[in-house]
Amino acid sequence: MSTTQSWTSEANEELPGLAGRIIGPEDAEYESARAVYNAMIDRRPALIARCASPRDVSDVIGFSRRHELLLAVRGGGHHGGGLGTCDGGVVIDLSPLKGVEVDPQQRKVRVGGGCTWGEVDTATGEYGLATPSGIISSTGVGGLTLGGGLGHLTRRCGLVVDNLLEAEVVLANGKAVRASPDEHPDLFWAIRGGGGNFGVVTSFLFRLHEVGTVIAGPTFWPVEDGAEVLSVYREFLPEAPRDLNGFFAFHTVPPAPPFPEEIHLRKVCGVVWCYVGPAKPAAKAMAPLLDSLPQPLMHGVAPMPHSTLQGAFDGLYPAGDQWYWRADFVNEIPDPAVRIHARYGAEMPTMKSTMHLYPIDGAAHDVGPTETAWGYRDATWGSVFAGVDPDPANADEIRRWSVEYFEELHPFSAGGAYVNMMMDEGEDRVRASYRDNYDPLARIKAVYDPDNLFRVNQNIRPRT
């Protein structure tokens, strides 16, 4: 490239057949195009390539390789550590790769690599069907799936990757391949938990389940009851039927309907429920917990379409807030850990800061630790400590709370963490999060991406 030419014009010259488009710093759209969900991340790529086809993806990979530019891949742009962007390199932005094709007879859905979960849940919900997804509809299918995928249906239907049937992947050499149990099975194994290390997934095929109306919503108790509620919850949840999911949370009640005004802005602890089935068995399944605890401040459980539940947190967490994440896998929650939780729950620094314990048992335990790259099949929960606030002035405070909470509890953890809920925390942490699957992943990485082109992720280094 000549010194007067920008990467944008160079890319436009070299890639005239691109179905999508190139956006660079000289374009008015650049500021919005470079933004990711977490406003704490402020990176300036040399160019953003909005890719509209697998061919576009392949061409942009070729461009990055020829010019030795760092390459980031963005699905929904939700990763807390900003792994969907980079400084000075190329961003493959998959947002134009939409398309959700539901096959209600075969109970399958094909999903474009740039879709968000809201798009998928809405389309499948029309048939009373769903595949497991996350808890916020704007999250990208790409990153959430490739890292594993925890959500309201985990206990009943497994992780998101347990429902992945095949994927179309553009590799580091630009070739498009299918990964399935029959084609490139090593790649298929690796992408079920190994993140974006192995290629760019341009489409996913998922299994669907009959999930129409769910019985869902929160039950809240005063945050001062945190130790008592958590002590009952830790015993209750692993024994509960698989149709019931309930993640434990510390929250502040948002000052808006449907929450009663008298508890607006009150710090609470509670459980966010999702029961797949009718109201009566749902109440029966929740009863052992509810009957063992004092009267809650709110028991807001009601029938609703699964896709409505998936969007329930969207208003509270729009793009553009400051986020700082820490996470750990947990097998058990002994009394000293309960006490630490209760203390930090009461000290949540901002209205949007939160701690969740996502169940990982039930159907997620039916799959063995080496059957997919997602190794922590023996964990009971994925804990996440998320400091969140719209005001950048509070960034240090939310970071401090999240890190100190995590550090005090880490000795009670299973060792690693869910890669989708970690920040950019270095190789040792990634290794700990894959345990025995790390070495096979590193060998598969050497086959499909020997030069580590795809390294803006929870990186697995290639090893022959």
Strand 47-50, strand 90-93: pairing: parallel
Site membership for ligand FAD, residue 54 (CB under 6 A): no
- 94 scored as a contact of ligand FAD (CB under 6 A): yes
Q: State which of residues 130, 200, 342, 357 lies at the interface with ligand FAD (CB under 6 A).
A: 200
Q: What's the CA gap between 432 and 430, in Å, rounded?
A: 5
Instruction: Give 143 or 305: the residue with its C-beta nearer to ligand FAD.
Output: 143
220, two tokens: 């809240």
Restricting to residues 396-425, name those near ligand FAD by CB under 6 A.
Answer: 420-421
Residues 307-326 that bind ligand FAD (CB under 6 A): 317
Position among 21, 34, 50, 74 found at the interface with ligand FAD (CB under 6 A): 74
Give the CA angle between residues 55, 61, 67 to the nearest 5°. Answer: 135
Q: Interface with ligand FAD includes 89 (CB under 6 A)?
A: no
Choosing from 21, 34, 50, 79, the residue that interacts with ligand FAD (CB under 6 A) is 79
Residues 105-164 that bind ligand FAD (CB under 6 A): 113, 134-136, 139-140, 142-144, 146-147, 149-151
Count residues binding ligand FAD (CB under 6 A). 34
List the interface residues with ligand FAD, window 31-50 (CB under 6 A): 37
Which span (71-79, 175-183, 222-230, 396-404) binds ligand FAD, by CB under 6 A?
A: 71-79
Q: In 100-239, where does DSSP find H-type helix?
A: 117-125, 141-147, 154-157, 185-191, 226-239
Question: Residue 218 forms beta bridges with which residues?
Answer: 272
21-23 β-sheet, strand order:
21-23, 47-50, 90-93, 71-74
Asked if residues 142 and 114 have their Cβ atoms less than 8 Å apart, the reply is yes
305 binds ligand FAD (CB under 6 A): no
3-state secondary structure of 265: coil
**Contacts for 347 with CB less than 8 Å, ≥ 6 apart:** 401
Residue 116: DSSP 8-state: B
Give every CB contact of residue 264 below 8 A, 6+ residues apart in sequence: 253, 254, 255, 256
78 touches ligand FAD (CB under 6 A): yes
Only segment of 192-200, 222-230, 273-281, 359-367 that touches ligand FAD (CB under 6 A): 192-200
The residues with which 69 forms a beta bridge, in sequence order, are none
**Overall residue count recorded for the chain in this entry:** 464
Residues at the contact surface with ligand FAD, assessed by CB under 6 A: 37, 73-79, 83-84, 94, 113, 134-136, 139-140, 142-144, 146-147, 149-151, 195-196, 200-201, 317, 420-421, 456-457
